[in-house]
Amino acid sequence: MRIGELAERAGTTTRTLRYYESRGLLQARRAENGYRTYDEGDLRMVRQIRTLQDFGFDLEETRPFVDCLRAGHPAGDSCPASLAVYRRKLGELDTLIGQLQSVRTEVGAQLARAELEASAEVPGGPEPRCELNREDEGR
């Protein structure tokens, strides 16, 4: 198949495929007329790359999966190097989840504090002015 068909079937652009080729992730063969040609194995590689990128893997992290497919394995994640990338990515995700949980706890505490302060009445004090309340501008 030619580059346009590969791009369409893989759900990407010809520009992206040329970029993958420049990075050594995709290897085009050339027909006699000079057009790039690809096969079903190339489609499988591009789909593997796209899936991993959708999961948050950067392009370089996809290389072991592509190499695994290129070596003839039926799946890009059946090689030790691919499994190592999965493990590393899971560790990164666990760290990010922990950080997000911590931030969520802090935001929840700030919200609770702000709601408590907003509901407290200050006898004889002025009503707080909300900067977002346009009705107060004419006063």
CA count, 13 A, side-chain hemisphere, 107: 6
| CA–CA distance, 64 with 78 (Å, rounded to integer) | 10
**What integer pLDDT is reported at residue 70 of this predicted model?**
92
Contact 89, 54 (CB under 8 A): no
Least confident of 67-71, 104-108, 115-119: 115-119
Give pLDDT, residue 125: 52
Q: What is the mean pLDDT of residues 57-68?
A: 95
Residue that is written with structure tokens 């290389």 in the block = 63
Structure tokens at 78: 């059946």
Residue 15: count other Cβ atoms within 10 Å of its Cβ. Answer: 10
- For the cut 90, the answer to whether the pLDDT of residue 137 exceeds it is no
> Strand, helix or coil at 62?
helix
Does the predicted TM-score (pTM) go above 0.75?
A: no
Query: 61, 52 in Cβ contact below 8 A?
Result: yes
25, 49 Cβ separation under 8 angstroms? yes
Average pLDDT score over residue span 81-103: 96
